[in-house]
A and B are shown apart, each in its own frame.
Chain A
Amino acid sequence: MDTLLSGFQILAQWDVFAALVIGSIGGVIIGALPGVGPAVAIAILLPATFAFEPIVGLTLLLGIYGSSMYGGAIPAILINTPGTPVNALTTYDGYPMTRRKEGHRALSLAYTASFFGGIFSVICLILLAPLLALIAPHFGSREIFLAAFMGILLVVVAHRGQTFAAGMLACFGIFLNTVGLEPVKYTKRFTFDQSWLSSGFDLIVVVLGLFALSQAFLLLVEKDHAPQDANVQGNMFAGVKELLGFKRIATISSSLGVLMGMIPGVGEFTAQFLSYTYAQKTSKNPDAFGNGSPEGLVASEAANNAVPGAAMIPLLALGIPGEALTAMMLSVFYVHNVIPGPQLFETQLDFVMALYLALILLNVIVLVFLLFSTNLLLKIIQIPTRFLGMMILTLSFIGVYSLRNSITDCAIAAGFGVLGLILKRLNLPIVPIILGMVLGGIMEVKLRAAMAAVKTPIDFISRPIAAIIFVMIIGIVVLHIRTLILEQKAKQNPEPLGPDYEHSSQQG
C-alpha cells in the first residue's frame, strides 16, 4: 500500500503528469496518422527525453506506446486504412460495419475493447508485481542469457514464412552490436581501421534510421495521397454497454495479449491471431467474421491493447526488451543509469508502481479524449503523405544530430534509412535487427559472467529457472519443426497467395 501511495506521489508531479497527457494525446494522433506509427514517434523523441528525469521520459514514451493503437483503429474502421500495422485486423470487421452505417458503433466498441485490454493488462501487472519481485532476484546471468536467447529464437520463429529473413536480420543485429572496440580485451572488431567505426553503431542512430528516416524517405518517394475525408455520426457511447455482452471474448483476448506481451519476441500480431481465431471458433456466428462482426473487432482490439502493458514485464523485471519499442525504452533507463532488472523491484518498487499507474491513467485519458473528439482527429489526419514525409525527416534530424552533433551519425542513420526503406518495401521485418542488437549485447555479457561459475555444461541449466527456460527453448524448436511439417503437408491442398493473405511484417 505504501508503494502504491508513493507511486501516486511520483505521478502527481506536474512534469510527469504533463508528459502523460502530452504522450497520451500525441500517441492517439500519431497512431491515427497512417504512415506514422509509435516506433517512428518514439525513435524521434528518444534523444529529447534524455534531458528529462527517467520517470518523465518514460511516461512520455509509454503514453505514445499505449495510446497509439487506440488512434490507429479510427482510420482502420472508417476508411479501411490501418493507422498502425497492428490495426490491420481491425479493418476486417470495422470497415464492413462502417459500410453498414455502423461506424460510430464500431468505433465506440473498438475504444471500449482497447480500454478493457489496457486496464486488464495493468491489473495483471499490479497483481503480478509482488510475484515478480519474488522471482526476479533468482534470475542470474545464465537465466538472463537463456531468456535473451529465447527472445531471439522467438522473434525468428514468430515471423512465419519469413523465418530465414528474420534469422539473417537478427544475426545482422548481433553483428552490428559487436562492431567497434570490444570492452573487455580492448581488441578492435570489424573497424577496418576507420576511426568512425571504433565506437560502434549507436542503437539510437540505427533505430532512427530504420524506423523514422526510412519512413520519411518512403513517404517522399511514393506517390502522394491523403486519407479521404470521413466523419462519424451517432451515439459514441453505443459500444460501451455493448462490450458487456462480449465479456468472455474481451477477457480471453486480453489474457492472450498479456501472455504474448510478456513473452519476448512475440507481440501484437500473434496475440491478435490467437484471439481472433479463438473468437471465431467459439462464436455462434462465425461466418460474420471478416464481414463486420463486433466479436472480431473486440477480439482484435482487446488483444493488441493488452500487449504494451505486459511488454513492460520482461523489460522491468529482467532488463530484456521483447520488441522494438521496449528496446528503445531500455536506452532511456541506461542513459539515466537506472538499470532495469531484479534490483529495480527490490529498490524502486514505487517507480515501477508509478509506471503502472501511468498506464491506467493514460487509458482513461485516451478513452475520454476519443469519445469526444474523433471527428476533430479525422480532420487532423488528412495530411498529404509527402508533407508528412517532410515532417518526419525534419524531426528525425533532431533525434540523430542532438545525440553527439555528429555528421557521421547522420550519415549512418541515413544509410540505415535506405536499408529500412528496402526492408519495408519488401515487407521484411525490421524488429529482428533491433532485438539482435540489444539482446546480442546482453547475451555476450551474460554468457561471459555465467560461464565463470559453470564447470560442466549441465551446470548451466541446473538451477530451476534456467532449467524451465531451457525446456521452453526446446519446446519452441520442437513446436516450430512440427508446424513446418504440418504446413508442408497442408501444401498438398494449396490455397492461393494473394493480397488478402499478406500481412505486414512491420511493427509500430
Chain B
Amino acid sequence: MTRIKYFQELFQRYRRPGDLVFAIIFLLFALFLLSQLGEQTKWVKRTKWFGQPSLWPSIAVWGMVIFGAFHLLGSMVSPRIYGRLKEVLFWLRSLEYVLYFLAYVAIVPLAGYLPSTILFAVFIILRAGFRRPQHLALAALFATCIALIFRGFLQVKIPAGEIYQHLPDALRAFALTYL
C-alpha cells in the first residue's frame, strides 16, 4: 500500500480539467504513428544509421510514445478534477469558428479580398454577440484598413477576386491591383 502511495506521489502533477482526455488522445495518436513507422518510413540499403531516412521519425515517434505514456500515467494517478465534459465541449465549440474561417478562405478568390474581409469581420462580430451599430461600423472600418494596408499598400500576395472582372473598366484595373 505504501509503495502504491509512493508511486502515486511520484507521478502526481498539477493539471486542469480535460487533461486526461488530451493525454489519452495524444498517446493513441503516438501509438498509431508507431504502428505506421515501418510502412511510412524507409530503411535504405548501403546507408549508415545516421543517414537513414527513418532515424529521426523513429526517435520522434518513440519519444512521443514514451513521454506520452508517462504524461498519461501522471494524469491517471492525480486526483480527479471535475469539469472534463464541459472542457471538451469548449474545445469543440472552437470548430464553429474554424468553419467560418475556412469559408472566408474559400470566398476570398471569388468575392475579392476587401469585400469578403468586410463581410467576414462584420459576421464574426455579430456572431460574437455585438449588436451596436458602432461595433459593426468599427469592424467594417478595421477590415477596410487591413485590406487596403496589406493588399493595396504592402502588395501582399492575395489573388484578385473573380467578381472584379465584372466591374466597369475604369474601376476594374484599380480593384484587381489594390482591393
* Chain B residues with CB below 8 A from A220, complex form: 94, 97, 124, 128
Rounded to whole angstroms, the CA-CA distance of A502 and B14 in the bound complex is 8
A residues in contact with B51, CB < 8 Å:
184-185, 448, 451
**Chain B contacts with A in 1-38, Cβ cutoff 8 A:** 9-10, 13-16, 18-19, 22, 26, 30, 33, 36
Q: Is the CB of B56 within 8 A of A390?
A: no
Q: A281 at interface (Cβ–Cβ under 8 A)?
A: no
Which B residues are in CB contact (< 8 Å) with A488?
A: 9-10
Count residues of B near A (Cβ-Cβ below 8 Å).
74
| A240, B63: Cα distance in complex, Å | 50
Beta-carbon contact of A407 and B91 below 8 Å: no
A104 within 8 Å of B by Cβ? no
Interchain CB contact under 8 A, B125 and A387: yes
B91 touches A393 (CB 8 A): no
- List the A residue with the shortest CB-CB distance to B68: A168
| Docked complex Cα distance between A152 and B26 (Å) | 20
A224-B129, A386-B128, A425-B90 given; A48·B146 CB < 8 A: no
CA distance A395 to B55 in the complex (A): 38
Chain B residues contacting A189 (CB-CB under 8 Å) are 40-41, 53-54, 57
Interface pair B143/A161, CB less than 8 Å apart:
no
Q: Which residues of B contact A218 (CB under 8 A)?
A: 94
Chain B residue nearest to A422 in the complex (CB): B91
- Assess whether A401 is in contact with B158, with CB atoms less than 8 Å apart: yes
- Checking A171, A393, A415, A417 against B67 with a beta-carbon cut-off of 8 angstroms, the contacting residue is A171
Q: Are B142 and A394 in contact (CB under 8 A)?
A: yes
Contact A407 B56 (CB under 8 A): no
Q: Does A213 make an interface contact (CB < 8 A)?
A: yes
Which one of A84-92, A172-180, A293-301 is at the interface? A172-180
Check B60–A192 contact: CB distance below 8 A. Answer: no
The A-B contact count (CB < 8 A) is 198
Q: Decide yes or no: A187 and B41 within 8 Å by CB, A387-B135, A390-B124, A401-B105 being known contacts.
A: yes
B137 in the interface (beta carbon within 8 A) = no
Determine if A224 and B128 form an interchain contact, defined as CB atoms under 8 angstroms apart.
Answer: yes
User: Would A407 and B48 count as touching, CB distance under 8 A?
Assistant: no
A398-B146, A407-B105, A425-B16 are known contacts. Are A47 and B128 too (CB-CB below 8 A)? no
Partner of B128, one of A162, A213, A387, A398: A387
- In the A-B complex, the 6 residue pairs with the smallest Cβ-Cβ separation, listed nearest first, are A171-B63, A168-B67, A167-B67, A175-B60, A386-B128, A174-B60
Q: List 25 A-B contacts (CB under 8 A).
A: A48-B154, A51-B155, A161-B14, A162-B14, A164-B67, A164-B71, A164-B74, A172-B60, A175-B60, A187-B41, A189-B40, A217-B98, A220-B97, A387-B135, A393-B97, A394-B117, A394-B120, A397-B105, A397-B117, A398-B146, A401-B105, A407-B106, A410-B102, A410-B105, A488-B9
Binding site for B on A (CB under 8 A): 47-48, 51, 161-162, 164-165, 167-168, 170-172, 174-175, 177-178, 182, 184-185, 187-192, 213, 216-218, 220-221, 224, 384, 386-387, 389-391, 393-395, 397-398, 401-402, 405, 407, 410-411, 414-415, 417-418, 421-422, 425-428, 436, 440, 443-444, 447-448, 451, 488, 491, 497, 501-502
